[in-house]
Structure 1
Amino acid sequence: MTSLDVDTPHGQALVELHSAEEGSAVLLLGHGAGGGVDAPDLVAATRGATAAGVHVALIQQPYRVAGRRAPAPAKQLDTAWLAVARWLGENWFHDLPMVFGGRSSGARVACRTASEGGAAAVLCLAFPLAPPKNPERHRLAELTAVETPLLVVQGDGDPFGRPEPAPHREVVMLAGDHSLAADPIGVTRAVEEWLARVLRPLARPD
């Protein structure tokens, strides 16, 4: 594992790189609003991605690096994320396809920035479809805006709701709640299988 400090317009981000033996792509993963990159589902997804031959960059947003728990505004999160993605593309992963992803708030960032960042696919872990006490404030538009292959891995008891499958969007339901901690093996398998399948058409010829 390699740790990197990356400057963004909103402060310094921290990146943990986990290399696959023969990396054919890179998966960028963001954390939840109040959590870190050591969340169980992010650890499980990292394991699945590297098994599929995909490098992983776990990205800690500047507000968390600075020691704050309250998340930054969405525009700041998106700007910082895109800055890190560009830096990684220029300095570490030249010409490799990038998959954007994350858990909860990080999944929302990945969806909102996928088009501008040129993501080849998007991975959402525990996407917070709607606040439990305000179901009318749903975020379905963030999912439907993604035009590349999209996987949502969701707990069947998640109080933030269950996104439905749709064109470009697959949904895998696992036992558990919003933490996705109940079935880490299921998360690993879902991510490994999906990445291997959706990135196959992008593989460079020998």
Structure 2
Amino acid sequence: MHEEWVETPVGRARVDWFPAAHHRATLVLGHGTATGVEAADLQALAHALPARGVTVALVTQPYRIEHNPSVADPASLDRAWAAVWARITAVTSPGPVIAGGRSAGSQVVCRTAKELGAAAALVLAYPVRGPGSPGELASVTLPTLVVQGGRDPFGTAAELPALPGHMTVVEIPRADHMFLASSDSASRGNLEAVVTSVAVWLDAVLGTAGGQR
């Protein structure tokens, strides 16, 4: 892993790179509001996917770096994400670039993925009950995987709006908003299920993406 700092219109962002030895694609992941890129699901994906040919870039928003809540609003999050996305797509190896995020980070993805030219969208723990907008999620026109915890207080898979056919929904039954459970072993099982679901979906997406960016 190595880190890179990126200047954005609202402050400096950090990218933690987890490069794949045999690169097929890049997955860019953003964090939520309660935790940063140390969130267990993001870390699990960052450590597991490079072995499957997917370079992972974990993006820390400027408001967390600079402890500045004034740039934690949706417009600022989107502006910072767009600046980091431009840097990542300029320097990463050839291949599809997929936009992903958890909770508030997944909302950024829903708002920006199409415009930024993402090949697909990964939505983890979308906060449909709370700050999230069902219409915002349903409006994504790219191939999309939505992964929800079955015990997520911000919304389970059953509470999602009707979604179009290009969206795949996976529920992790015993998982909360962080995909954790009441025991360490159950939490490990949840995170393994998240990784497996994402890996299977990525294989399907990359099989149709043509390997071009």
TM-score under structure 1 length normalisation:
0.90
The 1:124–1:48 alpha-carbon spacing in structure 2 relative to 1, beyond 3 Å, is farther
Are positions 1:44 and 2:44 aligned together?
yes
Q: Does the 8 Å CA contact 1:23/1:53 hold for their aligned counterparts?
A: yes
What does residue 81 of structure 2 align with? 81
What does residue 172 of structure 1 align with? 170
Q: Does the 8 Å CA contact 2:27/2:100 hold for their aligned counterparts?
A: yes
What is the total number of aligned residue pairs between the two structures? 199
Q: Does the 8 Å CA contact 1:153/1:187 hold for their aligned counterparts?
A: yes
| Higher mean displacement: 62-71 or 117-126 | 62-71
Q: List alignment gaps of at least 5 residues for structure 2.
A: 181-186
Q: 1:19-98 maps to which residues of 2 (within 5 A)? A: 19-68=19-68, 72-90=72-90, 92-93=91-92, 95-98=94-97
Q: SS in structure 1 opposite 2:115?
A: helix
Q: 1:183-202 maps to which residues of 2 (within 5 A)? A: 183-202=190-209
The 1:67–1:119 alpha-carbon spacing in structure 2 relative to 1, beyond 3 Å, is same
* Letter aligned with residue 61 of structure 1: Q
TM-score under structure 2 length normalisation:
0.87
Shift, 1:51, TM fit: 3.4
Q: Does the 8 Å CA contact 1:33/1:70 hold for their aligned counterparts?
A: no
Once the two structures are superposed, residues 154-193 of structure 1 have per-residue CA deviations (whole angstroms, 9 ceiling, x without a partner) of: 1001111132553111111102111112311111111111
RMSD, aligned α-carbons: 1.8
Shift, 1:70, TM fit: 7.6
* Letter aligned with residue 114 of structure 1: A
* Letter aligned with residue 63 of structure 1: Y
Structure in which a larger fraction of residues adopt helix = 2
Q: Does the 8 Å CA contact 2:41/2:191 hold for their aligned counterparts?
A: yes
Percent identity over the alignment?
41
* Letter aligned with residue 4 of structure 1: E
Q: Distance in 2 between matches of 1:142 and 1:52?
A: 30
Q: Distance in 1 between matches of 2:134 and 2:201?
A: 22
Shift, 1:33, TM fit: 1.0
The 1:159–1:140 alpha-carbon spacing in structure 2 relative to 1, beyond 3 Å, is same
The 1:44–1:95 alpha-carbon spacing in structure 2 relative to 1, beyond 3 Å, is same
